[in-house]
Structure 1
Amino acid sequence: MPKKLLLLATNLLLSAWVMAQFSVSGTVTGSGEPLIGVSVLVVGTGSGTVTDIDGKYRITVEPGQDSLEFSYLGYQTQRIAIGSAREIDVVMTEASAVLQEVVVVGYGIQKKSDLTGAVSVVSTEELVDIPTQSLGQALQGKVSGLQIIPTSGTPGADAIFRIRGVGTLNNADPLFVVDGMILNDISFLNPRDVASVSVLKDASATAIYGARGANGVIIVTTKQGSGAGQITVSAYTGYQQVVKTIDLLNATQYATLINEADVNEGRQPRYANPEQFGTGTNWQDEIFRTAPIQNVQVGFSGGNEKSSFNLSANYFRQEGIIVGSEFDRFTTRINTTRAVKDWLQIGSNLSLVLSTSQNVNAGGILLDAYRADPITVPRDSLGNFGNTAIRGNTGNPLATIEFNDNKSQDYRAVGNVFAQAQLWKGLSFRTSFGLDFVYFRSRSFSPVFEVSANQRNEESDLNVLNTYRRNWLWENTLNYNQEFGRHRVDGVVGITSQDNFGEFLSGGRTRLIGEDPSFFYLNSGDPLTSTNGSGPSGGDWGLVSYLGRVNYSFDERYLLTVSGRVDGSSRFGENFRYGFFPSVGLGWNVSQEDFWNDGGIVSRLKLRASWGQTGNDRIPEYAYTPSVTSGVNTVFGPNEILLPGATVTSLANPDLRWEETTQTDLGVELGLFENKLLLEADVYRKVTDGVLFNAPIPDYIGAGASIRNIAAVLNRGLDMQLTWRQRGRAFSYSLGGNLSLVKNEVLQLDGSMADFFSGGLGIGGQLGTNSRAGFTAGSFWGYEIDGVFQNQEELTQFPTLGTQRPGDLRFRDQNGDGVITAAGDRVVLGSAIPDAILGLNGSLEVAGFDLSFDFTGQFGNEVINAKKMARFGAYNYETSFLDRWTGEGTSNTEPRITLAGQNIETLSTRFIEDGSYIRLRNLSLGYTLPESIASRLRLRSCRLYVSGTNLWTSQEYSGYNPEIFNGLVFDAGIDRGGIYPIAKTVNFGLDLQF
């Protein structure tokens, strides 16, 4: 009987408990439409569900459970009390997506809403749309204030980065930080391994990097593992073609103009019947090809609260659009973390890269194809190369390709290991040791050959080069993060040490015993012809630093950031070895104020202001000491004995100091229509003082040049980014754009250097740029064309430059003194630095289809078409020469045809062209299989796509590409004809997740 009573009581209790349970249901919407897959969780339990295709949910709630939490990617997480309600409908907003976005900054992370500095973030989704092996090129047009310049279209080539203009006459590259490892380049990175990129632009953001933050900082975070194990496979294949070719004369046109040049220079015309040659050879068609490109990546990732891992392997192959060039790269990445104790986590990030290249002498090939006469055939009937030197004194570009065997291998390991200990609540310690190791080897072989007198090799030769460089970084930081009511404080202090060393070993021999690759070793050559060399490579320097930063937030409304760094560099002498670089930033989240009207059009408003100083130390090592060059051998004594000697080439400068950049920034962040429309804008003023450069010194001192602090440079401008996002159940889209306006000016130059000439054009030593105070750095410097002399009367009326005749260019007399002189009449003709950089992008998702596009452009810059100037023979001409002067009144812009003289040897507005362009950088169309179909294939997701890169370009410049960078700022924008053209690409791809 007691057992029956106990059983009855238990059943009654269970029934009461079951009756106490109840269900809550409802609909979740966002942006006016139901949201699929919203997570609905009973707070304090593991019980939850997700919304269905109509945004509906139903969940069972037990006694004592009083609230539900709704969360969805990109929307504000909401917690709602249940009370007596049995139906709860929820409207989710995107308002806090911006406020809660986490941004990686120097030595830590911050919420976007807490930032006082100018920081832009690009996510992995925005990078993978562009099929490229270069992260730099994938970033082009994505960020305001960031200019990306492709170095060339060479397979495997990287890009040049410029943040907020050019503030130095030295290396103006930003600093790169990859998973905490400080580097000078990111060419090794596989874009598909990247999780996010933070671009730090103002001093409040970059001062924590002190001596190396003057040109901005780019922080790259690679992907880490999380969640259940996942396998990803991505692959694409496609083809490439040259974007555009140069309009050159055909054979008939060429013969006609050469005849005119002969007559104009007092010779008999050399071609009796130009029409007999027809169209002739288009040398560009001979050297360019349609080239394949392939990429395959496999990844495996996962993790939990104890450990995580992300493993990937990538193979990229690109054949070049110039015959004979190709690039292969194999990359592996291993990122791991492990919580070995509740208070201790260890981890590592490692990338291993092997790349091989078949290199071609692109400069020589392109110039030969540009100059070679179209009358000569590529090969004669016997298969011999055509002799282009007969008419144009130039090489056959196909022979240059044929007799070139230049291969290289690059091995690189980049990574770090770290440990992070939680000392007590809010206080943690992190130590990290990173290593960047590079080993490079190349081999160049030339066989015996003869095409012409100026294109031959009488003895086979072999040259080899081995280079290695290692760079280690040890960082120790103490981080503090704590909240006190409405006050939130986080800070970091640390000490870091970095050391870099590298060297090279080279050798060469001629007269090899054979031309088979099995003989491509130095021992196969004549030992009597041996050459060798060794020396430093990549720099021998060290840096020790002390850093600190404090972020303070009151009630998430008022923000303060103070940071500073002390750097000591071996590149400077004892007088100025250490430098201090401080910054301060203020922020006001106006929309967090009590008076703010949440229901208005403006949903978010934040104001920022910052000031700070950063530095630049990128100069050769030991520049503060005198340098001596050996090998200056001289004959002395009555017996005329040759004795080895040396001479001083630069003087000591113990007062050499850092370049110091002072930057002020005012910014606004604005959200409209529940943050669907986001605007971020900054105005800034950046002055770099004490600019370092290897400047010439007076000849009587006895040394050619010395690195000195010689100049001050100003950059001021506006960065603006605008984005509209609309998300719905069946239809989502986004539109965005960014605009960067920049004005560059040299404020002052060393008193002994009123003008700083550079940018050699290869014409009689003529220099094409001048960086005088008041000018843009690297301003083009030459004569302004005032027309063409039409007759003898005008030659008498206007001043001339040398001996000129009717049909020659007339140069403007700028100072009105009646004579044309270099000192008095040359003026600024333009600049390679654009006034404006533009990026436009958009995406669309509907019914499983996705479409995205990116446009990039730059405006207000010019290019020197220097290849039109260099004429040392009867080279071919561009078609613009067809508009030449042939008699009085026929042309007032293009002079008569000549093979030499002022018309083609003097830098003038004739050779200055507009460098503005706008380009469809990327267009991608994809389709993702429905989940029901993918699951049957045992897939999480499957996406197929087709994409195109550089499909359309609008440019005025007659050359291949108006983005021309030759090294330093005062050499930019000069097209000497040797830069490998960029390609347009069409790819077909597949992305799988298992």
Structure 2
Amino acid sequence: MEARPLLKPLRLVFLLQFLCMIHLSLAQSAVEVRLTGVITSEMDGSPLPGANVIVQSTSKGTTTDANGQFQLTVPANATLVISYIGYQSRTIAVGNQTQIKVALTPDVSSLDEVVVVGYGTVKKSDLSGSVATVAAEEIKSLPIASLEQGIQGRVAGVQVMQGNSAPGGAPQVRIRGANTVLGGSEPLYVIDGVPVYNAGLINEDGLNIGTQPSNALASINPNDIESMEILKDASATAIYGARGANGVVIITTKRGKAGERGQLSFESYYGMQQVSNKLDLMNAQDFIRIMNERARNLGQAEPYANPAQYTTSTDWQDLLFRTAPIQNYSLSYSGGSKQNQYNVSGNWFDQQGIVINSGFKRGSVRINLDNKINDQLKFVTSLTASRSINNRASNNWLSNAFSAFPTVNPYNSNGGYNDFSDSEAAADPTNPLEVVEKSLNKLTVDRILGSVMGEYTLLEGLTFSIRMGLDNQNQLNDIFVRRGNFTYPFPGATVKQDYNTNVLNENILSFNRELNGKHKINAITGFTWQQNTSRYFQQGGTGFQFEAFETNNLGAASITEPNVSSKGQSTILSWLGRVNYVFDDKYIVTFTSRADGSSRFGENNKWAFFPSGALAWRVSRENFMRNIPFISDLKVRTSYGVTGNQEIGLYNSISRMSSVVNVMGASQNAAIGYVPTSLANKDLKWEINKQFDAGIDLSVWQGRVSLTADYYIKRTDDLLANLPIPGSSGFSTILINSGSIENKGFELGATAHLIDKAFTWSINANISRNNTKVLDLAVETAEFFAASIPSPIDRPVNIIREGEVLSAFYGFVEDGLNETGDIRYKDLNGDGVINDNDQTILGSPYPDIIYGFTSNMAFKNFYLSIFFQGVEGVSVFNSNEFLTGNSLARIGNQLTAVNDRWTTDNFNPNAKYPRASNIANRVSDRYIQDASYLRLKNIVLGYNLPAGKLGISWLQAARIYVSGQNLLTFTKYNGYDPEVSQTGTNSLVKGLDRGSYPSAKVYNIGLNVTF
């Protein structure tokens, strides 16, 4: 009873003590220090402007000014993380200091940088193969829809050609030249550990005339990419065996970092696109003049008896081209503890095409998780889900546009589309504007790409990992043509569906240890399994009475097209291994091997073995190099290895049957039967690629200048070839392995940090040369032609001949004009007759030299980046000029340059163009044009907002920039764009320009902020 009164004062004492403790704690935590400092270069003591000074584990920080100085209020006992591009980061404990001076060590050589290689990583200093890296910063401000575009011009030995520049289109990528005739030529892409082959779509005749191949890589958001490694020589690619012959591109997406506080980043840009070039075509009066002149030359009545009555002069290009917006928005959140890291992002990309009724949209979500369960076990998860919608311009729209008569109006008096069949344009009754606006060609792609890897540490340096991967793509292609004065008198619809599922399992044992300070061993071995299953369906019909349903009511077609369906499946099993041994940081030896078994090949050749070896010597680590102090690092390396190409299609090694329809008996009933369509070849096997490489890596003046050079020779044997066989067999050809192609060339890449003061300036440059030669072919004639180019050419323009470049241009050589104003051709064999025997090699569709140059400058918070890219010594067959520069052999509008022609009033034998007539010109050197070019590919002017100085505590970093793409192009080519090859991934019909979608000039403004 009496103890109770004592409890009240005790409670009060305890409460006062508790409040005092809280007060002291809060007071201590509230103590902040006003810190000033200067950041300099350890090399010469110069200040480093724009260096980042961040309070560790927070978003609070600032950047240094032009004198390398900063001011920042920080909590007591804070720890700073100081970083600057090209220098090693440092962590500094503030303690009770109020002033600090920090010198950063140059890290330009980046020898400790970790490079991603097949099934693992290796320090750059320990690398023995030819591997190039493209970092995220190099492509961050580029308005690109697909990641391959970010490689263009930035890596020696890698040619990226947009070809058909339509939104969502698939660029061609060639690493060290073309290696095949009938097989696939694209490199293998490995996205967060999942191999992906970007084959595109090829028509039955091997051409993509007026269409775009699908681009599987367009579903990946380029903003998600952390880095891209390009594996070029056999030492680097042999670990991928049967899929390494065309090179490998390893894509690593962004992941959270241990100890990083949750960081929210927003990146966006908005821009406008314009056609970069237009053809200079005749106006109405020039066109009337040449049409009447043609008629007189042919002894016909003039079609335009009263030219003055034609007041319309239509520029069809202006009607079809437009100024179009492009926009991109990305939001990401990343961070993590030592145990768990995360990076989550979302993206929306929308590119309207510069051609009406075309465009590409993509929405994507990505989740990357790294979870360390304990000291032995961790899980790595990568998952991307996306949907893209690609509205494609209709087939041959551009060739119809530039050949359409300028004398007619696109619209009639009622405001509808003009029906050319009732006008002077009867020779070409297609209204190109109506075709484009009434045609729908929409490709929708839903994709899930991801993998989960579990890694268990067995012993120190010894780990075992299991990866399960999935790449699931569903493609829906809706094609609908509305009622119009062209193609179909009634609406027509086609629906194509393609389901593709790729499943992967990898089991890898890895060992990575340094022993006794002298020996480093990095080794892997493992087993992998991958299976691809595809299903294809096609349905269609014409004669719909109502257009509103478009492709959603195929049953309402009055005429139904035959249904099409198919299924394909392929499997590849592999055993692999690699050992990278380094002794004393001087001598490096790498051995790689892979055994692949593929269902695609003949019964007698299911398995193949692909080995490689490489040696490297870091000469700069030798004692005798100490007397040459300006050399920071010098490494010489060489490699030799064998890789394969399994991209030969499915079921080509076995006999196949196809269904046919026959009408039987008096009842005329349709009967379905089956006939053999191919002969089996049990010996069908891989195309084998053997490659030698010799290279040197040099860094001088403490890494301020670095250089990489390579020389290589590649030979591909056992090429796929269709061998002609006697007709008595019931077949015309059989697919065999026979023939050889050789690629050899050099590559040179250099980086120089020219100025590192208040004003900084660095440059990157690369140049490479490749020669492709056909060594041997299966046919007795030692040559054969590629597929014919469709009307109006109707003949091949590429020849595959032993001793010549692959797919060389072939045709006649002009010899001025004759006395009647027609083209004269050279009699090359001297027999007095001009015929097919007078044709010769006219040029190469492959460039002699490809190059790129980047200049990066910064002053205070401003930066300027300029990127040039170009090719030299390449030709293009300008089919557009075959239509518009042939003096009306095919009736249609002509280039204004055709005004310089032979006429009866001007007997000029030196005129550029022949007389106006109906004589069809031959394929000649007139149309094989030099397509070399130098292009200002990208220019960026930006400003880094000094968030710390402005006292914005919640803002970690921000930058705003303006950029331009394809602003200047220097070329002699007179088509829309010298960077063109309309046949997609086809290896034989190359360098064709026939109404290809032109490139666009792009003007952007962008904003990147980090919270």
| TM-score, normalised relative to structure 1 | 0.88
Aligned residue identity for 1:616: N
Displacement after TM superposition at 1:268 (Å): 2.4
Aligned CA distance change for structure 1 residues 30 and 461 (closer, same or farther; 3 Å)? same
Displacement after TM superposition at 1:272 (Å): 3.0
What is aligned with 2:483? 448
Aligned CA distance change for structure 1 residues 278 and 641 (closer, same or farther; 3 Å)? closer
Matched, 1:969 2:966: no
What is aligned with 2:822? 808
What is aligned with 1:741? 769
Aligned CA distance change for structure 1 residues 934 and 715 (closer, same or farther; 3 Å)? farther
Q: Is the 8 A contact 2:49 2:758 kept in 1?
A: no
Aligned CA distance change for structure 1 residues 70 and 916 (closer, same or farther; 3 Å)? closer
SS of residue paired to 2:926:
helix
SS of residue paired to 1:932:
coil
Aligned CA distance change for structure 1 residues 369 and 71 (closer, same or farther; 3 Å)? closer
| Equivalent in 269, 272, 297 of residue 264 of structure 1 | 297
Displacement after TM superposition at 1:274 (Å): 4.0
What is aligned with 2:168? 156
- State the alpha-carbon separation in 2 of the partners of residues 149 and 414 from structure 1: 26
- State the alpha-carbon separation in 2 of the partners of residues 276 and 549 from structure 1: 79
SS of residue paired to 1:586:
strand
Deviations 1:57-81 (A, max 9, x none): 99xxxxxxxxx9998663358999x
Displacement after TM superposition at 1:648 (Å): 2.7
Any residues of structure 2 matched to 1:54-93 within 5 Å, and which? 74-75=86-87, 92-93=104-105
- State the alpha-carbon separation in 2 of the partners of residues 518 and 697 from structure 1: 47
What is aligned with 1:188? 219
Displacement after TM superposition at 1:406 (Å): 3.3
Q: Is the 8 A contact 1:31 1:727 kept in 2?
A: no
RMSD of the alignment, in Å?
Answer: 3.0
Aligned residue identity for 1:854: F
| Equivalent in 236, 239, 256 of residue 208 of structure 1 | 239
What is aligned with 2:345? 312
Deviations 1:517-539 (A, max 9, x none): 4883224444x636422113xx5
Matched, 1:852 2:865: yes
SS of residue paired to 1:100:
coil
SS of residue paired to 1:98:
coil
Aligned residue identity for 2:849: A
Aligned residue identity for 1:401: V
With 378-387 and 766-775 compared, the bigger mean Cα shift is at: 378-387
Aligned CA distance change for structure 1 residues 386 and 39 (closer, same or farther; 3 Å)? closer
Q: Is the 8 A contact 2:821 2:907 kept in 1?
A: no
Displacement after TM superposition at 1:645 (Å): 3.2
Deviations 1:448-491 (A, max 9, x none): 333xxxx2532333322222110011101000011122111110
- State the alpha-carbon separation in 2 of the partners of residues 385 and 641 from structure 1: 43
What is aligned with 1:675? 703
- State the alpha-carbon separation in 2 of the partners of residues 449 and 923 from structure 1: 44
Deviations 1:544-594 (A, max 9, x none): 000000001111111111101000000002211111111111111111111
Q: Is the 8 A contact 2:723 2:736 kept in 1?
A: yes
Matched, 1:146 2:158: yes
- State the alpha-carbon separation in 2 of the partners of residues 741 and 850 from structure 1: 32
Q: Is the 8 A contact 2:52 2:82 kept in 1?
A: yes
SS of residue paired to 1:249:
coil
Q: Is the 8 A contact 2:493 2:550 kept in 1?
A: no
What is aligned with 1:548? 577
Q: Is the 8 A contact 1:29 1:55 kept in 2?
A: no
Structure number with the bigger relative contact order (C-alpha 8 A, sep ≥ 6) is 2
- Ranges in structure 2 where 5+ consecutive residues have no aligned partner: 1-36, 55-60, 72-79, 93-98, 199-216
Any residues of structure 2 matched to 1:742-757 within 5 Å, and which? 742-757=770-785
SS of residue paired to 2:998:
coil
Aligned residue identity for 1:930: P
- State the alpha-carbon separation in 2 of the partners of residues 331 and 468 from structure 1: 19
Displacement after TM superposition at 1:89 (Å): 8.8
- State the alpha-carbon separation in 2 of the partners of residues 457 and 286 from structure 1: 23
SS of residue paired to 1:172:
coil
SS of residue paired to 2:237:
helix
SS of residue paired to 1:512:
coil
Aligned residue identity for 2:966: N
- State the alpha-carbon separation in 2 of the partners of residues 889 and 821 from structure 1: 26
Displacement after TM superposition at 1:976 (Å): 2.0
Displacement after TM superposition at 1:120 (Å): 0.5
Displacement after TM superposition at 1:630 (Å): 1.7
What is aligned with 1:106? 118
| Equivalent in 856, 870, 874 of residue 843 of structure 1 | 856
| Equivalent in 121, 140, 143 of residue 128 of structure 1 | 140
Displacement after TM superposition at 1:933 (Å): 4.6
Any residues of structure 2 matched to 1:55-454 within 5 Å, and which? 74-75=86-87, 92-94=104-106, 97-169=109-181, 170-185=183-198, 186-226=217-257, 227-274=260-307, 277=310, 280-361=313-394, 363-389=395-421, 390-391=424-425, 392-450=427-485
Q: Is the 8 A contact 1:352 1:412 kept in 2?
A: yes
Q: Is the 8 A contact 2:776 2:782 kept in 1?
A: no
What is aligned with 2:645? 616
- Ranges in structure 1 where 5+ consecutive residues have no aligned partner: 1-24, 42-48, 59-67, 81-86, 792-805
Matched, 1:900 2:911: no
Aligned CA distance change for structure 1 residues 754 and 632 (closer, same or farther; 3 Å)? farther
Any residues of structure 2 matched to 1:624-663 within 5 Å, and which? 624-631=653-660, 633=662, 635=664, 643-663=671-691
| Equivalent in 539, 547, 566 of residue 507 of structure 1 | 539
What is aligned with 1:478? 509
Aligned residue identity for 2:909: S
SS of residue paired to 2:490:
coil
Q: Is the 8 A contact 1:75 1:96 kept in 2?
A: yes
Aligned CA distance change for structure 1 residues 479 and 445 (closer, same or farther; 3 Å)? same
- State the alpha-carbon separation in 2 of the partners of residues 279 and 739 from structure 1: 50
Aligned CA distance change for structure 1 residues 934 and 830 (closer, same or farther; 3 Å)? farther
Any residues of structure 2 matched to 1:973-992 within 5 Å, and which? 973-977=991-995, 979-992=996-1009
| Equivalent in 895, 905, 924 of residue 878 of structure 1 | 895
| Equivalent in 565, 588, 593 of residue 559 of structure 1 | 588
| TM-score, normalised relative to structure 2 | 0.87
- State the alpha-carbon separation in 2 of the partners of residues 628 and 674 from structure 1: 67
Deviations 1:902-948 (A, max 9, x none): 4x2x1111111111111111111111111325542621011111111
Aligned CA distance change for structure 1 residues 384 and 553 (closer, same or farther; 3 Å)? same
- State the alpha-carbon separation in 1 of the partners of residues 669 and 359 from structure 2: 51
Q: Is the 8 A contact 1:252 1:279 kept in 2?
A: no
Q: Aligned pairs, how many?
A: 924
Aligned CA distance change for structure 1 residues 320 and 598 (closer, same or farther; 3 Å)? farther
With 399-408 and 854-863 compared, the bigger mean Cα shift is at: 399-408
Deviations 1:331-387 (A, max 9, x none): 1100001001111001210110111233330x3321111110110111133213234
Matched, 1:580 2:592: no
Aligned CA distance change for structure 1 residues 489 and 131 (closer, same or farther; 3 Å)? same
Displacement after TM superposition at 1:680 (Å): 0.7
Aligned CA distance change for structure 1 residues 468 and 832 (closer, same or farther; 3 Å)? same
Q: Is the 8 A contact 2:109 2:699 kept in 1?
A: no
- State the alpha-carbon separation in 2 of the partners of residues 815 and 761 from structure 1: 26
- State the alpha-carbon separation in 2 of the partners of residues 509 and 462 from structure 1: 6
Displacement after TM superposition at 1:238 (Å): 1.2
Aligned residue identity for 1:487: H
Q: Is the 8 A contact 1:853 1:924 kept in 2?
A: yes
Report percent identity of matched pairs: 38
Aligned CA distance change for structure 1 residues 737 and 697 (closer, same or farther; 3 Å)? farther
Displacement after TM superposition at 1:273 (Å): 4.6
SS of residue paired to 2:180:
coil
Aligned residue identity for 1:810: R
What is aligned with 2:6? none
Q: Is the 8 A contact 1:443 1:465 kept in 2?
A: yes
